[in-house]
Amino acid sequence: MVKKKKWELSAAEDVATTGFGPDPGASAAAEPASPAAQASSLRDAPAEVRLLAVFLPLVCFAALIALPSLWPASQDAGASRVLTLALLAGVVGSSIHALQSLAAFVGNRCFEPSWTLWYLFRPLVGGALGLVTALVLYAGLASGAGNVNPYGLTAAGGLAGLFSKQAVDKLEEVFDTIFRRKDPVEYRDRLDGDANP
C-alpha cells in the first residue's frame, strides 16, 4: 500500500484527519474541527503552497500601492509614466489570475508543485504583457491625438495581465497571420495548449 501525503487524501480521509468538508458517513452530531485543528492543516500544506500564498498577495499589494503613487495629477502624463502604470496594472491582473488558480487547485486538492515556477513568474509575464499591450495601443492612439487617457491604457494593461492566456493566444494568432512560414518548425517537446493551470 502506498502511503499518501496529507494533501493527497480522499475527501472522506481528509475529513477524518482535518475536520474539513462534509463526511457522508459521519453522524449529524459530529463535532466540527477546532480552530487549532483547522490551522494545523495549513501548516501541513506543501512548502510551495505556503510560499505562493505569501508571495502572490504581497506582489499584488505592492503593485496596488504603487499605482496611486504614480498616477498623474492631470490627463497630460508622460509616456513613461503611463506605460509604467500599464505594467503595474498587468502585474495586478496576473497576480489576481494566479491567486484564483492557486486557490482552485489547492481547494480541489490537485495542486502540482511542478507548477510553482508558473505561479512565481505569472506577475512578471502579466507586467510584460500589460506593457506590450499599452505600447501597441499607445502607438496607435498617440499618432492621432496629443494626449492619451491613462485610464484606458492602465485598464488595458490590467486586462492583459488578468487574461494573459487569451492575450498571448491573440498575439500568436496575429503574428501567425503576419509571419506565416511555408514549412513550420516542429519542436520535439512542445507543450500542449491545455498545459495552463
What pLDDT sits at residue 31? 52
Within-domain flag for 161? yes
What pLDDT sits at residue 56? 94
Within-domain flag for 52? yes
Range of the domain at 72: 46-177
Within-domain flag for 107? yes
CA max distance for the chain: 71
Q: What is the model's pTM?
A: 0.68
What pLDDT sits at residue 79? 79
| Side-chain-side CA neighbours of residue 176 (13 Å) | 9
Number of compact structural domains in the chain: 1
What pLDDT sits at residue 189? 72
Within-domain flag for 118? yes
| Side-chain-side CA neighbours of residue 20 (13 Å) | 18
How long is the chain?
197
Within-domain flag for 96? yes
Within-domain flag for 121? yes
What pLDDT sits at residue 54? 92
Within-domain flag for 10? no
Within-domain flag for 73? yes
Kindly list the averaged pLDDT for each block of 10 residues, start to end, along the chain of length 197: 48 43 44 50 79 93 91 75 92 95 90 93 94 85 65 91 87 81 72 57
What pLDDT sits at residue 180? 79
What pLDDT sits at residue 41? 59
What pLDDT sits at residue 4? 47
What pLDDT sits at residue 39? 45
What pLDDT sits at residue 16? 43
What pLDDT sits at residue 118? 93
